[in-house]
Amino acid sequence: KGIVTRGDFGYSFAFQRPVGELIWERMGWTVFIALGAIVFQWILAVPMGIYSALHPYSFGDYTLTVVGFIGVSIPDFFMALILMYLMLQMGATSIGGLFSPQFVGAPFSLAKLVDLLKHIWVPLIVVGMSGLAGLMRVMRGNMLDVVSSPFVTSLRAHGLDEKTVRKHAIKNALNPMVSIAGTELPNVFSGTIIAAIVLNLPTMGPFFYNALLNHDQYLVMTFLMFIAIITQIGNLLADIALAVLDPRIRMS
């Protein structure tokens, strides 16, 4: 009742502050990094999957498959350690976090934005790499199924050029990918806690871990509730996107 009527999520025993204040302080960066990682995954996974499907069992297909499986095999926190080590070897002086020490707590400015862009690529790669290979393999499998389907043969038989045929095939192959996208957001939220701790990110992951250690039950329950809400929002957005992408879904 307090959550619905007053936005009262309880009181944090460890921080001696209302849980609502603590959640909103970190929710913005959490959503920003999660959405950025999903965009990073899709920008790479969709073209890679399409290329692999259109050139099956070629050298390029095998190369992308190996790269993808390497991304799946390496844990995100270990990937973070590797990137941090490489940055140190290249002479970087500020690694981890989203800002250099002089910009932490400073008002937002153009210089702070540039500094953010210098740091943000590391967490986007670390968080996004784990799901990249899986999405690529799904896209490859979907595309192979669609390319060999009767309706593609019919389009070719009607004299459509190959570019138009591939356009229709890609559009149909994207349907399962859109469904998967609905579950990606909560997975990114809850599946990168250790990587966020290693990279010292101001997200909900390390916060949730500390709440578990401190038995801070209201903070833990609020975080889990937000994950459930985000899951529902993600599924709703995926359903809307499917209806926009495929008219047959709107008719059914």
Residue predicted with more confidence, 129 or 43 = 43
Place of tokens 């050139």: 55
Phi, psi of 11 (to 5 degrees): -125, 135
Count of the separate structural domains present in the chain: 1
pLDDT in tens, 157-210: 888 888 888 888 888 888 878 877 777 777 776 667 788 888 888 888 888 888
Hey, what long-range contacts does 202-208 have (CB within 8 A, 24 or more apart)? 202/26, 202/29, 202/97, 202/98, 203/26, 203/29, 203/30, 203/33, 204/23, 204/26, 204/27, 204/30, 205/30, 207/22, 207/26
Question: Which residue segment(s) compose the domain that 111 sits in?
Answer: 2-251
CB 205 within 8 A of CB 192: yes
Which residues fall within 8 angstroms of residue 132, CB to CB, at 6 or more apart? 40, 41, 44, 45, 68, 71
CATH number of the domain enclosing 187? 1.10.3720.10
pLDDT in tens, 66-95: 887 887 788 888 888 888 888 888 877 777
CB 46 within 8 A of CB 165: no
Q: What is the pTM of this model?
A: 0.81
Coil, strand or helix: which one is 224? Answer: helix
Asked which of 19-23, 75-79, 181-185, 240-244 is least confident by mean pLDDT, the reply is 181-185
pLDDT in tens, 130-162: 778 888 888 888 899 888 888 888 888 888 888
Does residue 17 carry a pLDDT above 80?
yes
pLDDT at residue 190 in the model: 66
pLDDT at residue 251 in the model: 64
